[in-house]
């Protein structure tokens, strides 16, 4: 698997699912960012649950395994690093996640924002446009020695 040469907005080495790969390859060829507003509708098929000042709240189109809920907040403008985030966007994100977790009766889980890129590998995001996850793992689906983990990076030549 080689890193994208002509599309700096996506990282093919971070793609997790086979059904996701085809779409990501198309995006890679197009050379644009799938999370930018002008392209979002084309690739993201889940409804937008809320549009805030800073974020679109939706659900992940490429669910992880063994989860009950997987919310995705996509920053409305193209930024890639947490240092570019307006503190007010942080406040809105927590408000959105909080309200939606109440609505869904989410018992527990975690929130994750990966950011940035490196020639030495990837920080786990297939799309560099800043986005945030709220995940409720399905504890009953996990094996006795299994823990639900979120990846924050892997080296360039990582193999499963
Ligand atoms: Zn973008």
* pLDDT tens-digit map of 79-100: 999 999 999 999 999 999 999 9
Q: Quick count: other Cβ atoms within 10 Å of Cβ 68?
A: 16
In the reported structure, the alpha carbon of residue 136 is separated from the centroid of ligand 1 by a whole-number distance in angstroms of 26
Give the model's pLDDT for residue 14: 87
Tell me the C-alpha distance between 36 and 75, whole Å.
9
In the reported structure, the alpha carbon of residue 129 is separated from the centroid of ligand 1 by a whole-number distance in angstroms of 5
Which run of H or E residues covers position 37?
Answer: helix 37-43
Residue 1 pLDDT exceeds 50: no
Tell me the C-alpha distance between 140 and 156, whole Å.
34
Give the residue among 95, 132, 126, 96 at the shortest CA–CA distance from 112.
132
Give the model's pLDDT for residue 5: 54
pLDDT digit string (tens) for 101-114?
999 999 999 999 99
Contact 79, 105 (CB under 8 A): no
Average pLDDT value for residue range 142-149: 95
In the reported structure, the alpha carbon of residue 76 is separated from the centroid of ligand 1 by a whole-number distance in angstroms of 8
In the reported structure, the alpha carbon of residue 142 is separated from the centroid of ligand 1 by a whole-number distance in angstroms of 34
In the reported structure, the alpha carbon of residue 18 is separated from the centroid of ligand 1 by a whole-number distance in angstroms of 22
Give the model's pLDDT for residue 160: 65
CATH number at 12-139: 3.30.428.10
8-12, 34-38, 71-75, 94-98: least confidently modelled range: 8-12
pLDDT digit string (tens) for 35-69?
999 999 999 999 999 999 999 999 998 888 999 99
**Domain limits of the chain?**
12-139
In the reported structure, the alpha carbon of residue 32 is separated from the centroid of ligand 1 by a whole-number distance in angstroms of 8
Task: Classify residue 57 by its DSSP letter.
Answer: E
Show Cβ contacts of residue 33 under 8 Å, excluding neighbours closer than 6 positions.
9, 10, 39, 78, 127, 128, 129
In the reported structure, the alpha carbon of residue 86 is separated from the centroid of ligand 1 by a whole-number distance in angstroms of 16
């Amino acid at each position: 698997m080689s890193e994208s040469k002509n599309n700096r907005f996506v990282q093919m080495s971070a793609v997790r699912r086979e059904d996701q790969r085809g779409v990501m390859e198309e995006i890679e060829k197009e050379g644009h960012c799938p999370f930018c507003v002008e392209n979002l509708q084309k690739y993201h098929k889940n409804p937008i649950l809320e549009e805030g000042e800073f974020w679109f709240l939706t659900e992940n189109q490429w669910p992880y395994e063994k989860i009950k809920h997987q919310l995705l907040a996509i920053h409305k403008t193209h930024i890639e690093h947490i240092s570019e985030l307006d503190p007010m966007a942080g406040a809105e994100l927590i408000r959105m996640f909080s309200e939606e977790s109440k609505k869904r009766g989410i018992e527990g889980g975690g929130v994750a924002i990966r950011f940035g890129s490196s020639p030495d590998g990837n920080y786990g995001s297939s799309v560099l446009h800043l986005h945030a996850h709220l995940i409720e793992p399905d504890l009953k689906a996990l094996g006795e020695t299994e823990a639900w983990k979120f990846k924050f990076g892997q080296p360039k030549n990582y193999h499963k």
